[in-house]
Chain A
Amino acid sequence: MEKPELNNNQTDAIIEVKNLQIKFGKQEVLKDVTLNLYKGENLVVLGKSGSGKSVLIKCIVNLLTFKNGTIKVFGDDILLMNRNEISSMRKKIGFLFQSGALYDSMTVKENIEFPLRRIKSELNEKEIDEKVKEVLENVGLIDSINKMPSQLSGGMRKRISLARTIVIDPLIMLYDEPTTGLDPITANEISELIKNIQEKYNTASIIITHDIHCARTTADRLVMLREGEIYLEGNLKQFEESKDEMIMSFFK
């Protein structure tokens, strides 16, 4: 296993994952994962399907519980948090689901308003309206404001989902395979959008993907997971220059 020196001098880890182990029944999904996410960086987590990438970010927002290892978000250990503290922690994190996870029974506007009304309850109706329009303009779908999710294409659903995630001004973004199932043009647009969000909102992000184009566009740093373990960690150049067969098969 190859472990090149990291090329960054950042010290402010806002997510610290240490010796994380997850088992589903007898299957060990994550064996011993340790990684950090630093302020303002985009960390891309690569790996084959079933390597435990999505499980990792679901553990960070406590959607999946674990017994072995520690995860600290903004310095606080999530295993020691109570329900209210977990809820407060989630308010600072945006999570883009692989399927988009738009609420089918609500319009695009209602979908975006849903987290906004709950997380930013101090906003009045006018401010909510303005915020919804602002994020829809950012993702280029202001015309779809009154549509139902069933009237949207796959790419549009991902964009709306992205709008719903950034509307709460998160400090951290977690993307679960943002370009999966999209055509190359739409996938490129989503990758550009992720990069723009990082620049505009100064968010730190973990991007789970096996789309190399997305990784190339968005990554400041990369981690490759293999069979529940970190196989390689480094920057894009280190990955591209790697002579490892598995890495090469991803980057060819």
Chain B
Amino acid sequence: MKIVIPKIDVNKIASHSIKISEKTLAKSELANEFLLGIGNVVLFIQRIFTEMFSGRAEFKEFIYQCYQMGNKSLPLISVTGTIMGLVLTIQSRPVLAEFGAESLLPGMVAISLIREIGPVITGLICAGKIGSGIGAELGSMKVTEQIEAMEVSSTNPMKFLVVTRVLATTVMLPLLVLYADALGIIGSWIGANIKGDVTISLFFSQAFSQVGFNDFIPSVIKSFFFGAVIGIVGCYKGYNAGRGTESVGKAANSAVVIGSLLVLIVDVIAVQITDMLL
């Protein structure tokens, strides 16, 4: 019997194995990069906390940033807050009317706004407006060597630029959320008056008769976290921007995308915790 040995194309096998090893290497590099990124974020947050509690506080810059972030966001938050309340009322009214429950409208709108819609919409708007602003500002400071100039002026840029901005977003976000909630209820009153006639004092007393501290406190607490997340992401992306001008756009863009995503993730976690505790 004659044994036939199949022809083995060594070159083909070698090239195939090279391709496989290249693909494996590319995947491991990606995983490596991802893990390195997480490690850098953790170190960045650790540095923020270390700098926050060490040395002289940059109080003047913190107040300036609060003014920049809070005051300059007011027009956008005002319009959004009012429209949220107005639209929610116009859309809910016919459904409630069907069940003869129109009197519950102020309370329902107030609870929806305070518990969920106000913080989340304000958080998302701030992730867009404030987050991109921080990312672009710090990114362009990095590109134009302004951060290095600060360092050689014996100023700690981490403390002066990052800590102040993270604290400012953390403090201002809950205030902006409460402001948006208030304007949302006013918007709701305007909506209620399109087809009815309710005085503002009656509307507010009906709204707040349904709202308790249990609605306010979780909302304020999660707004703090939204603010911290927006500030940290914006600062991290801007502070670690690359060298070219293109990286400024990338820093701003990824600050918005990641910031918005994290606001929603924090919201899901906050809702779960609130649900367990209350």
The interface-forming segment of B92-100, B147-155, B256-264 is B147-155
Taking a contact as CB atoms closer than 8 A, the residue among A88, A98, A102, A119 that contacts B153 in the complex is A119
Scan residues 135-160 of chain B and give those whose CB is less than 8 A from a CB of chain A: 137, 140-141, 144-146, 148-155
Whether B146 lies near A90 (C-beta < 8 A) is no
Taking a contact as CB atoms closer than 8 A, the residue among B146, B149, B151, B154 that contacts A119 in the complex is B154
Whether A115 lies near B153 (C-beta < 8 A) is yes
Scan residues 171-188 of chain B and give those whose CB is less than 8 A from a CB of chain A: none
Q: How far is the CB of B149 from chain A (nearest CB, A)?
A: 4
Taking a contact as CB atoms closer than 8 A, the residue among B146, B150, B151, B152 that contacts A104 in the complex is B146
Q: Tell me the complex Cα distance, A102–B140, Å.
A: 12
Whether A114 lies near B145 (C-beta < 8 A) is no
Taking a contact as CB atoms closer than 8 A, the residue among A91, A93, A101 that contacts B145 in the complex is A101
Taking CB atoms, residues of chain A closer than 8 Å to B150 are 103
Residue-by-residue, is B107-149 near A (CB-CB < 8 Å gives 1, otherwise 0)? 0000000000000000000000000000001001100111011
Whether B154 lies near A90 (C-beta < 8 A) is yes
Taking CB atoms, residues of chain A closer than 8 Å to B155 are 114-115, 118
Whether A63 lies near B151 (C-beta < 8 A) is yes
Q: How far is the CB of A191 from chain B (nearest CB, A)?
A: 21
Taking CB atoms, residues of chain A closer than 8 Å to B145 are 97-99, 101
Whether A91 lies near B151 (C-beta < 8 A) is no
Whether A99 lies near B153 (C-beta < 8 A) is no
Residue-by-residue, is A55-87 near B (CB-CB < 8 Å gives 1, otherwise 0)? 000100101000000000000000000000001
Q: Tell me the complex Cα distance, A84–B263, Å.
A: 37
Q: Tell me the complex Cα distance, A118–B58, Å.
A: 11
Q: Tell me the complex Cα distance, A90–B148, Å.
A: 12
Which range holds the interface residue count of chain A? 20 to 34
Taking CB atoms, residues of chain B closer than 8 Å to A168 are 153
Whether A99 lies near B144 (C-beta < 8 A) is yes
Instruction: Please give the number of chain B residues whose Cβ is less than 8 angstroms from any Cβ of chain A in the complex.
Output: 14
Q: How far is the CB of A203 from chain B (nearest CB, A)?
A: 15
Taking CB atoms, residues of chain A closer than 8 Å to B141 are 103-104
Whether A101 lies near B154 (C-beta < 8 A) is no
A95 contacts the other chain (CB 8 A):
yes
With A97-B145, A101-B145, A103-B146 as known contacts, state yes or no: A90 contacts B140, CB within 8 Å.
no
With A98-B145, A99-B145, A101-B145 as known contacts, state yes or no: A93 contacts B152, CB within 8 Å.
yes
Whether B152 lies near A90 (C-beta < 8 A) is yes
Whether B154 lies near A91 (C-beta < 8 A) is yes
Q: Tell me the complex Cα distance, A43–B155, Å.
A: 27
Q: Tell me the complex Cα distance, A90–B151, Å.
A: 9
Nearest neighbor of A91 in chain B, beta-carbon distance: B154
Q: How far is the CB of B46 from chain A (nearest CB, A)?
A: 16
Q: Tell me the complex Cα distance, A88–B153, Å.
A: 10
Whether B148 lies near A115 (C-beta < 8 A) is no
Taking CB atoms, residues of chain A closer than 8 Å to B149 are 95, 97, 101, 103
Taking CB atoms, residues of chain B closer than 8 Å to A101 are 144-146, 148-149
Residue-by-residue, is A201-233 near B (CB-CB < 8 Å gives 1, otherwise 0)? 000000000000000000000000000000000
Whether A114 lies near B148 (C-beta < 8 A) is no
Given contact pairs A98-B145, A115-B153, a sample of 17 additional A-B residue pairs in the complex whose CB atoms are under 8 Å apart: A63-B151, A63-B152, A88-B154, A97-B145, A101-B144, A101-B145, A101-B149, A103-B141, A103-B149, A103-B150, A104-B140, A104-B144, A104-B146, A118-B153, A118-B154, A119-B153, A119-B154
7 A–B pairs (Cβ distance < 8 Å), ordered by A: A98-B145, A99-B144, A101-B145, A101-B148, A104-B144, A114-B155, A119-B153
